[in-house]
Amino acid sequence: MTLAKGTVSERMGGLGTENAFVVLKEVNDLIAQGKKIMNFCIGQPDFKTPKHICDAAKEAIDNGLHGYTPSSGIPALRKAAAQYFTSTRGLDYTADDIVIACGGKPFIWYTIFAVTDPGKGHEVIFPNPGFPIYESMIKGMGAVPVPLYLREDKNFNFNIGELREKITPRTKLLILNSPHNPTGGVLSKAELEEIADICIKNDIWVYADEVYSNLVFDAPFASIASVPGMKDRTVVVDCASKTYAMTGWRIGYMANTVLAPHITRLVTNSDSCAPHPNQVAVAAALTGPQAEVQEMARIFRERRDIIVPGLNAIPGISCRKPGGAFYVWPNVTDACRLTGCKDSEAFRIRLLYEAGVACLADIHFGPRVPDEGQHIRFSYASSADDIREGLSRIVQFMEKNTA
């Protein structure tokens, strides 16, 4: 049957996607053909979920904990998440402030849905480059996306002056992401205080995407929610995905006193609840030993300290040392010129097909920032040996192809 033209909504046309999944399919197709690919394109830890967490899930299933739960989450997990946010952000949250969802991602649209109205010109400021779902969901919800450019000379943070310029009477929400995907940039306490001042003066909500909060390498983690006056206007979001190597378990948690009941209603309308055994497992994760989390962070830091100097030793590539997450965002403007690639996407494709090295290009994280050159993203959630092999393949590729 052919459906009538216009059957699909106009808003579907505005909805973006996460190209990491598209490139991952490309990579997996090559692997299926027997190619040995060094894969740096996917943002998920390569570790196993710690055993005590898996055991808690198995026990939950054996004990029949497989039914619907309250949409806000099981009391044990809400309490554990409240304690987690309280102790890590230095604030006083209770279980009533917490909502559990299927990963950190759904809170992006829940929050935009909860604080903007479609077609009213409500503006949402978001980081560019950035996690592609921000712009996608802003458009999908009928709000107006306002990109805030991240600058290499600011260690991939934005100019506070530029933030001030972007704020209008229609600005409803500012999305922050620290540590940041794709650059690994981290907002300092001093920067967060300046941003907080602007948000308070202009009465703006903040979405603090802190899913990489446990992967900060050079300074203690700082949340904008902890700045005096910010707790009530900040939706703090964290998840089990990156911290406990649980991407496929799909459990995230948010804290905000005002929005918690509204976001609970959104969960009722969408997923009903997050999977019951997985909620039990994450309660065990948050209340159990954290030694494996610290060990994973130590290993990620070690890998960062291999990949950054390795990339900087390659002619045509320069790479800043990121403070967090497991991403690097090297500048490949000269490498593109040297190899005759028209841009970072052409360079990425040649790295994949000619060198067997998979990464993402800047265009997978929004339009390129004007005057900031060409970048690619490596996720170093791969073993140190694979990182060294990947680097050596890029060196050979550059040697072979430099005019």
Ligand X SMILES: Cc1ncc(COP(=O)(O)O)c(C=O)c1O
Provide the binding-site residues for ligand X, judged by CB under 6 A: 43, 103-105, 131, 177, 181, 209, 211, 239, 241, 247, 252
Which is nearer to ligand X, 255 or 391 (by Cβ)? 255
Task: Give me the least distance between CB of 209 and ligand X, in Å please.
Answer: 5
Residues 37 and 352: their CA atoms lie apart, in Å, by: 8
Question: Across the beta sheet with 327-328, what order do the strands follow?
Answer: 327-328, 376-379, 360-361
**Contact predicate 372/152, CB 8 Å:** yes
User: Smallest distance, Å, CB 338 to ligand X?
Assistant: 31
- List alpha helices for 188-275, DSSP H: 189-202, 240-243, 260-270
Query: Which tokens go with 18?
Result: 């996460």
Choice between 103 and 184, CB closer to ligand X: 103
Q: Are 238 and 282 in contact (CB under 8 A)?
A: no
Question: In the complex with ligand X, which residue's Cβ is closer, 369 or 391?
Answer: 369
Residue number, 283 or 314, with CB nearest to ligand X: 283
Using the minimum distance from each CB to ligand X, give the nearer residue, 339 or 379.
379
| Residue 104 vs 366, nearer CB to ligand X | 104
Residues whose CB is less than 8 angstroms from the CB of residue 312 and which lie 6 or more positions away in sequence, other chains included:
318, 319
Minimum CB distance to ligand X, residue 105 (Å) = 3
Least separation in angstroms between CB 339 and ligand X:
29
Q: Angle at Cα 251 formed by Cα 265 and Cα 189, nearest 5°?
A: 95
Q: Which of 365, 332, 384 is nearest to 134 (CA)?
A: 365
Give the CB-nearest residue to ligand X: 103
CB of 22 to ligand X, least distance (A): 14
Structure tokens given for 188: 């300092």
Element of type H or E holding 29: helix 19-32
- Minimum separation from the CB atom of position 285 to ligand X (A): 13
- For the record, the structure tokens of 137 come out as 């969901």
